[in-house]
Chains A and B, each alone.
Chain A
Amino acid sequence: MLIRVNVNGEWREADAWPGESLLFVLREELGLPGSKNACEQGECGSCSVWLDGELVCSCLVLAAQAHEREVRTVEGLADGDRLHPVQEAFLEAGAVQCGFCTPGLVVAVTDLLEHDPSPDELTVREALSGNLCRCTGYEKILDAVEVAARRKREGVW
């Protein structure tokens, strides 16, 4: 079935098999492999995107449900070669090891800070509870959130 989705501000069309997830369409048909495919059951958060402005696991969205709707992916964050401040913060804090969970975490952290630029640590941990990282032990990710949050409060983004 033909699906029309606004992805990162641009209307795109994909000919999807009706049982396909939004994640599959993004990665395999729209050339956007930033969202990662891991657990396929909403546990790991590595496929996190925004659907009509809400943070969701794209593996749990039926592609057809995104028809005529807006999707924002991790690819929509950087401005050309300039990384998004949350991506910069991840680099600076050393919050990236193997990197597989990074796109999902960057999206989840951006979502959190867009809603709440001054989250306390419990709020951060709760907001990131749907994103698993098997390398870092999370400490440096929390450091990155702090750096990105400070810049958000300073008006850098």
Chain B
Amino acid sequence: MMDVLLPRTLEEALEMKAERPEAVPIAGGTDLMVELNFDRRRPEAMVDVSRLPELRAWRREDGWMFLGAGVTYARIQRELKDVRALVQASRSVGSPQIRNRGTVGGNLGTASPAGDALPVLAVHDAEIELAAAGDRRRRVRWDAFLLGVKRTALEPDELILGARWQVLNGPQSFSKIGTRNAMVISVAGLCLALDPRTRTVRVALGSVAPTVVRAPDAEAYAAQALERAGVWDEPAPLPEAEIEGIAELVVAAASPIDDVRGTAAYRRHALGVLARRALGWALDERAEEALVG
């Protein structure tokens, strides 16, 4: 026997989770339904969170962004155009049909290292907001939430409310490598952001370790390299050797495996390519900003 619970509000959903902690949340179904269709999983109960208005909201306040767990990739593309890396990641998720259903909360709950939104959350040092009945709320940083392949810090009676982060205003991008241009699970993914305010560079990697990871050595080296080249003060090209140095440190942050989608060696190679491209775009964008500004 299997039960499907259909709460109308977050409060109702949390009470149901308190009573039936084994109930698996389902939103867009783009991960869970595959498991059901292929008979790989038979949860005793499921709780449909796709109707909860609290999860379908996003808002911006005082330089902070809150993105509800139930916001779909299609809505991010339409409604959050200025969160550019997130829009780029959203565009690269599946097909139009998948983007109309798939949610960032699903990426978080499934905790696959190939979740396209996750490197973007990691670059922003996003906090994941969790809720349980009785008004219990907590925030967990992304790296304390994503614990391993398909493992998270979510307690059985909790639901993912969404993610919040401080908005970054500098150049940023998300890019990924896959076997074709659409409808592809990433073989390697990378999100890079420059933060001119703090003069820092942030890099997060997808599909190349058990969880999404940051590349702290590459970030520190890149910030210094940009300082040496004077990029923070006015647009300037970065010497080729510096770009190579950054790319090498990005690759060193990965611990990829061989699997059906690609070999570890190919993933390392791909990361180097992504790092060089992302740096190039960020520097070009900085130069354009300077021209306009």
Q: Which residues of A contact B (CB under 8 A)?
A: 1, 17-19, 21, 40-43, 45, 48, 54-57, 59-62, 64-65, 67, 108, 111, 125-127, 129-131
Chosen A-B contacts, 23 in total, with CB atoms closer than 8 Å, are A19-B36, A19-B42, A21-B33, A21-B37, A41-B34, A41-B37, A42-B33, A42-B34, A43-B183, A45-B97, A55-B96, A55-B97, A57-B98, A60-B33, A60-B101, A62-B4, A62-B26, A65-B50, A108-B97, A111-B96, A130-B95, A130-B96, A130-B182
Known: A42-B34, A59-B37. A65 touches B96 (CB 8 A): no
Determine whether the beta carbon of A42 is less than 8 Å from that of B6: no
Determine whether the beta carbon of B29 is less than 8 Å from that of A62: yes
Determine whether the beta carbon of A130 is less than 8 Å from that of B29: no
Residues from chain A with Cβ under 8 Å of B74 in the complex: 54
Residues 18 to 38 of chain B near chain A (Cβ within 8 Å): 26, 28-30, 33-34, 36-38
Q: How far is the CB of A113 from chain B (nearest CB, A)?
A: 13
Determine whether the beta carbon of B97 is less than 8 Å from that of A56: yes
Q: Does B216 contact A (CB under 8 A)?
A: no
Q: Does B263 contact A (CB under 8 A)?
A: no
Q: Does B46 contact A (CB under 8 A)?
A: yes
Cα–Cα, bound, A56→B94 (Å): 12
Q: Which residue of A lies closest to B99 (CB)?
A: A130
Q: Does B292 contact A (CB under 8 A)?
A: no
Residues from chain A with Cβ under 8 Å of B46 in the complex: 18-19, 62
Q: How far is the CB of B176 from chain A (nearest CB, A)?
A: 15
Cα–Cα, bound, A45→B183 (Å): 11
Count of chain B residues with Cβ under 8 Å from any Cβ of A? 28
Q: Does B2 contact A (CB under 8 A)?
A: yes
Cα–Cα, bound, A59→B29 (Å): 9
Q: Which residue of B lies closest to A67 (CB)?
A: B6
Determine whether the beta carbon of B29 is less than 8 Å from that of A61: yes
Q: Which residues of B contact A (CB under 8 A)?
A: 2-4, 6, 26, 28-30, 33-34, 36-38, 42, 46, 48, 50, 74, 94-98, 100-101, 181-183
Q: Which residue of B lies closest to A115 (CB)?
A: B96
List 12 other contacts, CB 8 Å, given A55-B100, A64-B48, A126-B96.
A1-B4, A19-B2, A42-B30, A42-B97, A45-B97, A57-B98, A60-B28, A62-B33, A64-B6, A67-B6, A129-B181, A129-B183
Residues from chain B with Cβ under 8 Å of A57 in the complex: 97-98, 101
Residues from chain B with Cβ under 8 Å of A62 in the complex: 4, 26, 29, 33, 36, 46, 48
Determine whether the beta carbon of A61 is less than 8 Å from that of B183: no
Question: Looking at the complex, which one of A17, A40, A127 makes contact with B96 (CB distance below 8 Å)?
Answer: A127
Question: Looking at the complex, which one of A18, A56, A61, A130 makes contact with B2 (CB distance below 8 Å)?
Answer: A18
Residues from chain B with Cβ under 8 Å of A130 in the complex: 94-98, 182-183
Q: How far is the CB of A67 from chain B (nearest CB, A)?
A: 6
Known: A42-B30, A60-B34. A126 touches B97 (CB 8 A): no
Residues from chain B with Cβ under 8 Å of A54 in the complex: 74, 100-101
Residues from chain B with Cβ under 8 Å of A60 in the complex: 28-30, 33-34, 98, 101
Q: How far is the CB of A56 from chain B (nearest CB, A)?
A: 5
Cα–Cα, bound, A55→B97 (Å): 5
Known: A1-B4, A59-B37, A65-B48. A126 touches B100 (CB 8 A): no
Residues from chain B with Cβ under 8 Å of A42 in the complex: 30, 33-34, 94-95, 97-98
Q: Which residue of A lies closest to B37 (CB)?
A: A40
Determine whether the beta carbon of B97 is less than 8 Å from that of A64: no
Residues from chain A with Cβ under 8 Å of B37 in the complex: 21, 40-41, 59
Determine whether the beta carbon of A129 is less than 8 Å from that of B95: yes
Q: Which residue of A lies closest to B2 (CB)?
A: A18
Q: How far is the CB of B279 from chain A (nearest CB, A)?
A: 27
Q: Which of A21, A65, A108, A129 has the most CB of B within 10 A?
A: A65
